[in-house]
């Protein structure tokens, strides 16, 4: 029998692991069973003694058995009864100094003087004629001992309660003394709940961590070439890209003790506690080495010292200093590997990031179309999917989605299928789940007037018409006037190909497309509504980024204006330092205004030229509320869009809505809300444009 690489002769080591780590998980069954069984037996014994003592005291002081109704009389009355027995015979039972007198159905109890004989006493008065005397056994030595214990029972009960209270106080003191011990969970079991087969969409990151596992399993391959094991691996990337999942896969396949802890568990209000926990954690890891330590969200304790970000914190800095010493101090350790995860590498201390501590930095980003397909395939395993489900098509429609988003997509689709009482998950549920994740659930119960419905339809049609006729704009994928979240309607775009670079023409097309909704409202209804507020905000962000970040202004040239402080993987700006004067600021504003005005003029020209198509698409939206890209093309080309609603006879498993939402054969990232592949200013450059 072998457990996690431990031979039968080393079970005392496994027991030592159990005593040291105090872990309670299914990966360490010995620890769980030993700890729980001992605690249960100790508590059960204490409670059993208390219950027995209470019952004994009750029967001792409140229950006298069959003599509880007997009347106690003095010895003189016993003599009088013996002298005048009447017609009834008297039975006297003698047990040491206790007398039980039975006269017919009446029972009396009495006591004689110690050392005297009841027989001699009755002989002296001549009252032995109608009296029978029985001397009963006083009991064996065991009975005497039991009687003695019963006499001392209150003292024993008090001592037991005192002992119980002392043990509880001792446990509290042990907890206080163990305040500085590490709270890391250790996994050494044989059951791997997550393996590298469950990780998809990040082949490079997977390869880096697979090498770490191979080094632990087969170190001779690397040592023969003079290679040394990496001391640390830092996983960086946006939330939901699989950093913790990769760490779980390492824990499942490493075959060595794996310690998992969060960075926030080191930090306490008392100075020195965090450093003590770091020392204890590394001592445990060395004792069970070779081993792996995983620190999740290491930015909670690894912030730059003295940077002022988050304020000065002596406890956090002492903890960080201890981590630096343990990872690569005077005593170097080659049998402990540290894996850490963060989405804020920009605030980590440089001493923590240098080689010798974190030798490898693995960056995880949002997956491309192949990665999204592989991730969808992993999460779709074990779920009953309909024949019309096309994972490749779903991957094309979800650019910018992280691994967590795609897992949530599959789960939401399964919930929708269960809500509709279906046995399998179909393409309809998948497409609805995409819309729910992007814009929220549909609010079909929201009451809107006919006028607002028409305004929304023309607004979204304006976006679609400008996007369709702009040469460098992305293709229109779907238009809807069904309210979702805070949006009254939206228009989704999908590019023709996967891309990470944006051109000036594409940015100008985005601005013109964003202005299309406002221009359509003004031309049709001769009024302006608040529905274009989000469009104006996004268009302004794009124009300002073109001028100040990307050098796309002919007047200002290729120069960066303003030094921005941002959260790299979280897409938030902390502030901007302006390194230019008032005159340059006026030029920047004039260039931004020029780009916005040019986009508005382009949108107005296209809508005036395509007014017939604008009216046709709006009428279809008012009647059907949703239109896909294929139907919009048919309207523009003069064909009947309702023909696409009829399923083809060949694919028997096809459904109406799945045919209705076909996408281009090749796709790339769209600039939808939450698209994490672009810089913060332009990642929402071409969003689900619609009414807020």
Strand arrangement of the beta sheet that strand 232-236 belongs to: 185-187, 258-262, 291-296, 336-342, 232-236, 360-363
Residue range 394-404, pLDDT digits in tens: 998 888 888 89
CB 131 within 8 A of CB 82: yes
Helix (H) or strand (E) holding 319: helix 314-328
Q: How far apart are CA 339 and CA 232, in angstroms?
A: 6
Mean pLDDT (whole number) for 575-598: 88
- How many angstroms separate the first and last alpha carbons of the chain? 64
Least confident range of 6-20, 46-60, 84-98, 628-642? 6-20
Domain membership of residue 567 (yes or no) is yes
Measured CA distances, 89 to 80, 94, 122, 410 (Å): 14, 16, 15, 96
Question: Is 38 inside a domain boundary?
Answer: no
**What pLDDT score does 344 carry?**
85
Which of these three, 332, 363, 394, is where a domain ends?
Answer: 363
Mean pLDDT over 499-519 rounds to 92
Residue 425 shares a structural domain with residue 511 = no
pLDDT tier for residue 417 given thresholds of 50, 70 and 90: very high
- Does 162 reside within a domain? no
* Positions marked catalytic: 460
Per the structure, how many domains does the chain have? 4
Proportion of the chain above pLDDT 90, given as a percent: 20
> Does residue 296 belong to any structural domain of this protein?
yes
592-643 tens-digit pLDDT: 999 999 999 999 999 999 999 999 999 999 998 899 888 999 999 888 877 6
Question: Do the domain assignments include residue 498?
Answer: yes
- Buried b or exposed e, range 516-553, using 16+ CB within 10 angstroms: bbbbbbbbbeeeebebbebbeebbbbbbbbbbbbbebb
Q: What is the mean pLDDT of the chain?
A: 76
* 223 to 229, 267, 334, 339: CA distances (angstroms): 9, 37, 12, 21
Paired residues of 363 in beta bridges: 236
Burial class of residue 30 in the structure, from the number of CB atoms within 10 Å of its CB (0-12 exposed, 13-18 middle, 19+ buried): middle
What does the pLDDT average to over 447-461?
90
- Residue 361 forms beta bridges with which residues? 234
Query: Which residue, 532, 552, 560, is CA-closest to 592?
Result: 552
Domain that holds residue 329: 182-363
Q: Are 282 and 318 in contact (CB under 8 A)?
A: no
For the residues 136-144, what does the mean pLDDT come to? 57
Q: pLDDT digits over 670-681, tens only?
A: 333 333 333 333
How high is the pLDDT of residue 335?
A: 75
pLDDT, tens digit, 9 for 90 and up, residues 90-117: 777 777 777 777 777 778 787 777 777 7
658: left (phi over 0), alpha (psi -120 to 50) or beta: alpha
pLDDT at 521 over 90: yes
* Pairwise CA distance, residues 83 & 130, whole Å: 9
Q: Dump pLDDT digits (tens) for 148-172.
A: 666 777 777 777 777 777 766 655 5
User: Distance between CA atoms of 108 and 419, rounded to whole angstroms?
Assistant: 81
Does 399 share its domain with 489? no
Residue 24 domain flag: no
409-413-415 Cα angle (round to 5): 115
Does the pLDDT at position 5 exceed 70? no
Spatial distance between the Cα atoms of 312 and 43, rounded to a whole number of angstroms: 46
CA distances from 198 to 263, 326, 669 (A): 25, 32, 24
- On whether residue 26 sits in a domain, the answer given is no
The verdict on 112 and 218 lying in the same domain is no
| Statement to judge: residues 452 and 598 lie in one domain | yes
d(CA 599, CA 603): 6
């Amino acid at each position: 029998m072998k457990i996690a690489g431990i031979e039968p002769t080393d079970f005392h080591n496994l027991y030592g692991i159990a005593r040291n780590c105090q872990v309670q998980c299914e990966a360490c069954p010995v620890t769980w069973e030993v700890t729980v069984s001992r605690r249960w037996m100790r508590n059960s014994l204490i409670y059993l003694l208390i219950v027995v003592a209470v019952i004994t005291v009750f029967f001792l002081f409140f229950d006298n058995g069959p003599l509880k109704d007997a009347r106690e009389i003095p010895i003189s009355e016993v003599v009088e009864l013996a002298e005048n027995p009447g017609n009834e015979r008297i039975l006297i039972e003698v047990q040491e100094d206790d007398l039980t007198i039975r006269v017919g159905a009446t029972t009396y109890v009495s006591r004689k003087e110690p050392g005297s004989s009841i027989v001699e006493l009755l002989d002296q008065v001549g009252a032995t004629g109608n009296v029978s005397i029985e001397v009963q056994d006083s009991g064996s030595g065991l009975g005497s001992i039991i009687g003695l214990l019963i006499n001392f029972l209150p003292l024993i009960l008090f001592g037991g309660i005192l002992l119980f209270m002392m043990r509880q106080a001792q446990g509290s003191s042990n907890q206080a003394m163990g305040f500085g011990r590490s709270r890391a969970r250790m996994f050494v079991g044989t059951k791997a709940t997550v393996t590298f087969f469950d990780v998809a969409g990040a082949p490079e990151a997977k390869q880096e961590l697979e090498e770490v596992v191979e080094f632990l399993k087969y170190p001779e391959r690397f040592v023969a070439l003079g290679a040394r094991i990496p001391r640390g691996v830092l996983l960086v990337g946006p939330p939901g890209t699989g950093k913790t999942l990769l760490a779980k896969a390492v824990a499942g396949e490493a075959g060595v003790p794996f310690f998992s802890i969060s960075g926030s568990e080191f930090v306490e209000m008392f100075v020195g506690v965090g450093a003590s926990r770091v020392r204890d954690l590394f001592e445990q890891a060395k004792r069970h080495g070779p081993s792996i330590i995983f620190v999740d969200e290491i930015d909670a304790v690894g912030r730059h010292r003295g940077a002022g970000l988050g304020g000065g914190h002596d406890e956090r800095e002492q903890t960080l200093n201890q981590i630096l010493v343990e990872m690569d101090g005077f005593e170097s350790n080659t049998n402990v590997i540290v894996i850490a995860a963060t989405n804020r590498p920009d605030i980590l201390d440089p001493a923590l990031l240098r080689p010798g501590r974190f030798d490898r930095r693995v960056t995880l980003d949002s997956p491309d179309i192949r990665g999204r397909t592989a991730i969808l395939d992993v999460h779709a395993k074990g779920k009953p999917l309909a024949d019309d489900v096309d994972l490749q098509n779903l991957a094309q429609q979800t650019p910018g989605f992280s691994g967590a988003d795609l897992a949530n997509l599959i789960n939401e689709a399964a919930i929708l299928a269960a809500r509709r009482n279906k046995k399998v998950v179909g393409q309809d549920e998948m497409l609805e789940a995409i819309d729910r994740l992007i814009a929220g659930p549909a609010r079909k119960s929201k009451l809107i007037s006919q006028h607002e419905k028409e305004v929304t339809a023309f607004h979204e049609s304006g976006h679609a018409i400008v996007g369709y006729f702009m040469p460098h704009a992305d293709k229109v994928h779907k238009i809807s006037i069904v309210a979702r979240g805070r949006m009254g309607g939206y228009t989704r775009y999908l590019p023709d190909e996967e891309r990470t670079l944006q051109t000036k023409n594409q940015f100008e097309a985005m601005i013109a497309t964003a202005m299309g909704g406002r221009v359509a409202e003004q031309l049709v209804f001769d009024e302006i509504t608040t529905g274009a507020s989000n469009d104006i905000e996004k268009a302004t962000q794009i124009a300002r980024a073109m001028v100040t970040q990307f050098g796309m202004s002919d007047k200002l040239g290729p120069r960066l204006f303003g030094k921005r402080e941002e959260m790299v993987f979280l897409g938030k700006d902390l502030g901007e330092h302006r390194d230019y004067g008032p005159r340059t600021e006026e030029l920047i504003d004039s260039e931004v205004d020029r780009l916005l005005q040019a986009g508005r003029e382009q949108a107005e020209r296209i809508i005036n030229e395509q007014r017939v198509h604008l009216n046709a698409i709006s009428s279809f939206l008012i009647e059907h509320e949703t239109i896909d890209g294929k139907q919009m093309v048919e309207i523009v080309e003069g064909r009947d869009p309702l023909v696409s609603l009829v399923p083809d006879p060949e694919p028997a498993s096809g459904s109406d809505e799945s045919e209705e939402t076909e996408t281009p054969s090749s796709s790339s990232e769209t600039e939808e809300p939450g698209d994490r592949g672009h810089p913060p200013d332009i990642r929402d450059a071409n969003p689900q444009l619609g009414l807020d």
